[in-house]
Chain A
Amino acid sequence: MTEPVVLTRGATKRYGAQVALDGLDLEVAPGTILGVIGPSGSGKTTAVRLLTGITAPTSGEVRVFGVDPADFSPEQRASLGYMPQLGVLDPNLSLRENLHFVASLYGLPLRRRRRIREALALVEMEGDARKLLRDASGGMQRRLALTAALLHEPQLVFLDEPTAGIDPVLRATMWEHFDRLRAQGRTLVITTQYVGEAAYCDRVAVVAAGRLLALDTPEGLRHRAFGGELVDIEASERLPDDIPAVLLEIEGVLSAARTGTEGRGLRLLVGDAGAALPRVQRRLERDGLTVDSAEPRVPSYDEVFVALVRAGERPPAGRRVR
C-alpha cells in the first residue's frame, strides 16, 4: 500500500478552553485531492495550519511526508505549496512583483520571467501583470494567491478556500486546473465552503464544530449521509395508507415515506437501488398499483452535507418509517 503523504491521528488543537479541532484522523494518498468541507469556523483552516506546520497540535499526531511538520527540512518545505485563506501578498507590489517575491522565497532561479508570464496567463491575468495588488479585484487576488502557491511546482499543495468569492465559471476552471495537477501526480488538500465542490475530489472530509464527521469518496458520502440510496416512486393513483409498511418487508428497503400532496408519491431508502427497485416495482404491480415513474434520486451535496451534519449531532438511528 502506498504510504500516505498526510497522516493525522487524534490531532487536536485547543486555544484555551476552546477546541478548534477535536481528534482529527486523516490519511491522504499521494496523487489525490482531499476536499475538506465544512461551514465557517468548523476547523478547516486550523487543520491546514496543523498540516503546514504553522501551528502545533495540542495533542495527537501529525505527519506530512512522514515527519512532524515541526521537523520539515528546507527541501520538504520547498515541496509544499500553501495558499492561505486570507490574502498574504503585498498590496503595494504589482501582481508580477508579488509572484517574483514568492518565487524567490522558494529559491527559484532569477531567470523566471517566462514561468511567471505563463503562470499569470494560466489564470487569465497576463494583461494585469503590472497592476498593483491593492487595485486588483478580490477574485484576481485569490487567483494570484493560488498562482503563487503553485509557482514552484510543489508536490503537496494546501489550498485554504481557493474558490471563495470566485465566480462559478472561474471556479470550474480552477478545478480543472487542480484536476490537471492531480494527473501530474501532485497531492492537493483543498478546503471549501462550497459543498458541491466535493464532486471534484477523490476523498472528502466533512468537518463541523472541529470534528471530522465523515471521510469518504463523494459517492460514499452520499451513501453514508442517508444510510443508502434514495429512490423516488410516482404511482398513477393514490397509494394505500399501509404501503410504506408493506414495502419495508421487501429485502433491501431500509425506509419508506410518502411524498407529495395527493398520496401518489413515495421515497424509499434502499441499500442498492439497482437490486431493490425491480423488487419494489413488482410488489406494487402485484397489488394492482401502476407505477408512472421509479428513479434513483441523486441528492445534492448540500443535502448530503446537511444530512451528515445532522447525523453528527444525534446518535445513529435504525430503520425508520415515516
Chain B
Amino acid sequence: MGASGFGQRSIRVLAFLRKELVGVVRQPLLVVLLVLGPFGILLLFGAGLGSGAPAVTTVVVAPEGSAVAEEARRYAEANPSRLRISEVTADLDPALRRLRGGDLDLVVDFPADIDVALASGEQPSIVFYHDYLDPIEADAMVVAMRRVVDDLNAQVAGARVEAAQQRAGRVEDRVAAAADRVGAVRAALARGDEQEALIQLARLRGEVTGLDAELGPGDPAEALSDGEGTAAETVDELAEQVAELASDAPSEATEPLDRLAVEIDDLRSGLAEFGGLAPGLFVRPFQGVAETVVEGPVDLSDYYTPAVLVLLAQHLGVTFLGLSVVRDGELGTMDLLRVAPVSAGEVLLGKSLAYLLLTGAVTAALTGLLVAGLGVPVRGEWALLALTLLVILFASTALGFALALAARSIAQAVAFAMLLLLANVFFSGFLLSLDRYREPVRSLPRLLPATYGVELLRQVMLRGDPPSAVLLGILTSFAVALFALSWLLLRRRLRRA
C-alpha cells in the first residue's frame, strides 16, 4: 500500500473530512443561508422590535360627567402611546362585550361617587378588565395598571396637598398678625399697661381661633402639631396662661410669653416649610433609580445574540451529523465501512472534524456579521470568545453524533433535532431565566449543553467577564462523554448484524 499504519489512519480520517466538507460546500446556497439567515432574522428582530410597550385600546367606564372621567382622559392624553382611550362611557356591559369581541384591549371601570367613598373612609376599587391570553402580556398589563392606579392616587393626593398649601398661605398672614400681637402684649407688659396687654391678648386669641377654623380638622397642616393638639390649640393655651398671669403676676407672664413667641415662630416656619415643598414630595417622597453594573447598554438583540449563536451551532451540529450518519445507513455506505479496514474511531474523528470545521466557519462568519453589522458587543477578550465558541462547537458536534447514531431514519434524525431545539428554546435560558422554573424541572436545563453555552457566551460577550472555568469544564466533560458514547454506538453499528 505504501503508507504506514498511522499514515493510513490519517488518510482514512481525511477521507471522511473531505467527503463531508465537499458534500456541504457543494451546496453554496445552504452555506449562505446558514450565515445570512440567522443574521437577517436578528437584524429584523432588532430593527422591528418597538422600544416601548404596544398601545392599549381602552374604554373608560365612569359616571356621566364625573370628574374622574376627565381625570382619566387627562391621564390618557399625558400617556398617548400606551393608553389609547377610544371612549368614555357610563355602561360597563357593552364595553365588556366589545372587550370579549376583540375590539378592545382594556376596560377601566371607575366606581361612582369616589369623593363620597373617600370621605367615608372607604377605599374604592378601580377595576381593569383585559382579554390577554398571553400570560406574560397579562402580567405586564397588571403591572402597568398598578402603576396607573399609583399615578391616579398620587394625582388625587397631590391635588389635596396643593389645596392645603394654598390654605396654608392664607393662614400665614394670620400667624404673622398673631406674632405682631405677641409683640404688642410684650410691649404693653413692659410698660405696665396690663389693660392693653389683655386687649392684645384677646385679639391674639381671636387670630388663633380664626387660624384653627382656617386649618380645619384633618388638614395636612396637622403634621405641624406636636402630637398633643394642633399648633393653634397650643398657641391658644399659652395665650390663656399669659392672660391669667398678666393680671395676677405680670412679671411671671414673661416666661409663657416667650414660649408663646417661640410657638408662633415655629408655626410660621412650619407653614412656610409646608408651603414651600412640592406637593409631589408629600405623595411620593421617594423615587426609584435603577443603575446597572453591567458595562454598557444591552438591548434585546444584544441579549439574544449569544443564545442564538449557541442554538445555531448546536442545531447545525445535530442536523448535519444526523443527516450524514443516517444517510450513510440508508445509502448503504455503512456496509461499505463494515467491509473496509475502517475503525469506528476513524469515522468518528473524520466526520467530527468536518462538522467542527463547518459549524466553526459558519459561527465565526455569523459572529463577525453580528458584531460588525448589528453592533452586538464583545466586551470580553476575543481569544476567550474563540475558546468558548470552540468548546460549545465541540459539545454540539458530540451531541449531534450521539443523537445521529440513536436515530434510525432521516425522519427520526429531524425529529430529534427539532425536539432538542425546542428543549433548548425553553430550558437553556434562551427565552426565560432558569430561576423561573420550579424543581425538579429547574434541574432539567443542567442536562442541556446549550444551557452552559448560553451562560458562557453571555459572560464573555455581554458582561466582559472571562468564561467560567467550571462551566467550560462541565461543557467539555459533556463533549467527552458524548463522544465516548458515540464511539461505542458506532463501533456496535459497524459490527456484524
Contact = CB atoms under 8 A, between A and B. Distances in A.
A105 B496 contact: no
B336 A104 contact: no
A80 B339 contact: yes
Interface in B211-227: none
A25 interface: no
Given A54-B496, A69-B496, A105-B340, A90 B3 contact: no
Contacts of A84: 332, 335-336
Interface in A42-92: 49, 52-56, 69-70, 74-75, 77-78, 80, 82, 84, 86-92
Contacts of B495: 70
Nearest to A88: B332
Given A74-B341, A92-B23, 19 more contacts: A56-B497, A75-B341, A82-B335, A82-B339, A84-B332, A86-B332, A89-B333, A90-B333, A92-B26, A97-B19, A100-B15, A101-B15, A101-B19, A106-B340, A108-B3, A109-B2, A109-B3, A109-B11, A152-B1
Contacts of A106: 1, 340-341
Given A78-B341, A108-B11, A102 B336 contact: yes
Given A53-B339, A92-B26, A101 B18 contact: yes
A153 B117 CA distance: 102
Main secondary structure of the interface of B (DSSP, over half): helix
Interface of B: 1-3, 7-9, 11-12, 14-15, 18-19, 22-23, 26-27, 331-333, 335-342, 495-497
A125 interface: no
A87 B19 contact: no
Interface extent on A, as a size class? 35 or more
B335 A108 contact: no
Contact of B339 (A52, A89, A110): A52
A105 B22 contact: no
21 contacts: A52-B339, A54-B339, A82-B335, A82-B340, A84-B332, A84-B336, A88-B331, A88-B336, A90-B333, A91-B331, A92-B23, A100-B15, A101-B15, A104-B14, A104-B15, A105-B337, A106-B341, A107-B7, A107-B12, A108-B1, A152-B1
Contact of B22 (A53, A75, A92): A92
Contacts of A54: 335, 338-339, 496-497
A86 B333 CA distance: 10
A63 B22 CA distance: 39
A115 B187 CA distance: 131
B331 A90 contact: yes
Contacts of A52: 338-339
Nearest to B17: A104
Contacts of A289: none
Q: Which 5 A-B pairs have the closest CB atoms?
A: A104-B15, A107-B8, A88-B332, A77-B341, A74-B341
Contacts of B496: 53-56, 69-70
A98 to B, nearest CB: 9
A110 B3 CA distance: 9
The interface centre, meaning the residue of A56, A69, A104, A132 with most chain B CB atoms within 10 A of its CB, is A104
B495 to A, nearest CB: 8
Contacts of B336: 82, 84, 88, 102, 105
B115 to A, nearest CB: 80
Contact of B342 (A69, A75, A105, A109): A105
B15 to A, nearest CB: 3
A56 B22 CA distance: 34
Nearest to B343: A74
A284 interface: no
A291 interface: no
Contact of A105 (B12, B26, B27, B331): B12
A184 to B, nearest CB: 18
A93 B12 contact: no
Given A84-B335, A104-B12, A110-B11, A90 B341 contact: no
Contacts of A70: 495-496
B472 to A, nearest CB: 35
Nearest to A145: B336
Contact of B341 (A93, A100, A107): A107
Nearest to A110: B11
Contact of B333 (A53, A69, A74, A88): A88
A132 B338 CA distance: 25
A16 to B, nearest CB: 13
A165 to B, nearest CB: 16
A291 B407 CA distance: 73
A89 B495 CA distance: 20
Contacts of B342: 105
Given A55-B497, A90-B19, A107-B3, A77 B340 contact: yes
Nearest to B11: A104
Nearest to B495: A70
A83 to B, nearest CB: 9
A74 B494 CA distance: 14
Interface in A117-155: 132, 152
B333 to A, nearest CB: 5
